[in-house]
Structure 1
Amino acid sequence: MPQLLAITGSPSAHSRTAVVADHVLRRLSHAGFTTEHLSVRELPAADLLSARRGEPEIRRALDAVAGADGIVIASPVYKASYTGLLKAFLDLLPQDGLVGKTVFPLVTGGSLAHVLAIDYALRPVLSALGARHVTAGRFVLDSSVERGSGPDRLRPEAELDLFQAVDEFAAALRGAASYATEQPTAHPTAHPTAQPTALAATP
């Protein structure tokens, strides 16, 4: 089963974005996927901002991205875009850091006026990093996250809409996994005009 990683880029310790991302991970976990949550705010700030890729916690975070088949990229809207904290982490990835991966963009904000932040701010950088498939994703209003004495939860209508997108993401992941499994392994073959010991390049 594909490995999934949620990366949240909110600087807040009481992040609505993290709440929504956790809802996504629970849905995917119940569907049988192995999931992990990386909160960028918990990485050492000096190492993150100085791009110290070799430091242990930064290295582990980058290895988690490299080992994941699917990535949930989640951020609140700050100044009509994703956060600088998330940008600092994405800048640590190699240029092909998302190659072969299916990515689900997730953005939270206080107004539907920011809904285009997914397509005009986040999606281009995900494509630039080589993501195999960036799914439709979702924008979730801050007001959809209900807080009280118990666990934070989503309003039912927001949860239903979110889970529809999550199920589409899961289907895309399964499709990518099936495609990879079905591809034949290439083997070098002898070139008809070559000497017996020579091998032609695989077409």
Structure 2
Amino acid sequence: MPQRRVLSVVGNPKPNSRTRTVAEAVAARVAAAIPAEGDVVTEVIEVSALGPGLLGWGDPAVKEAVASMRTADALIVATPTFKATYTGLLKLLLDQIGQGELGGVPTVPVLVAGAPEHALAVEVHLRPLLVEIGASCPTRGVFVLDSTLPELPAQLDTWATANLAAITALVESRATVSQDLG
């Protein structure tokens, strides 16, 4: 069995943000739940590091990021809330991905917000965008308030109990299909 990989894509303009902290915590939960013969690797793409390459088409670093997203065993897409939705920075990257191009990669949408009024944004705005580009989002997204970050482990325990089985089942079924075809 090849090594499994969980990729976090962080759409915060600020590197090493709270959004990244949440994304990495979700990725760690997903990675720990995926059956594998060896370690499950977690990686992070900070969209802000792609810089001006996001503003045009064909940038090698952006192409590499998209290829990494397509080949991940599981994907965590995290963004802070800007104007009640995902960031324009994240949208610049996701606009580089064609309709259906992710090919069903199991994906967890994650949104970090300053106000509880934005709780639906993860389901109403981020999830449909991810589905449009071919992500498979088999569970509810993760919504975290900035003010509740100290309670993140407990929040993720609750989320994991309700959702991890669906994600790991999808990861396993995709791996089986891949082995059968390969």
Same fold (TM over 0.5): yes
Q: 1:25 to 1:178 in 2, by over 3 A?
A: closer
Of residues 117, 120, 123, the one that matches 1:119 is: 123
Of residues 14, 37, 40, the one that matches 2:44 is: 37
Give the whole-Å Cα distance in 2 for the aligned partners of 1:15 and 1:101: 25
Q: Which has the higher contact order (CA 8 A, sep 6+)?
A: 2
Give the whole-Å Cα distance in 1 for the aligned partners of 2:16 and 2:7: 20
Structure 1 portions without partners, runs of 5+: 146-154, 187-203
TM-score by length of 2: 0.83
Q: 1:16 to 1:60 in 2, by over 3 A?
A: same
The equivalent of 1:46 in structure 2 is 52
Deviations 1:29-67 (A, max 9, x none): 444532111110011x2211113x2x3311221111111
Amino acid at match of 2:97: L
The equivalent of 1:162 in structure 2 is 156
Between Structure 1 and Structure 2, the one with more helix by share is 2
User: Number of residue pairs matched?
Assistant: 173
SS at match of 1:13: coil
Of residues 8, 16, 36, the one that matches 1:6 is: 8
Give the whole-Å Cα distance in 2 for the aligned partners of 1:49 and 1:59: 13
Identity %: 34
The equivalent of 2:95 in structure 1 is 91
Of residues 84, 101, 106, the one that matches 2:105 is: 101
Q: CA deviation at 1:171?
A: 2.4
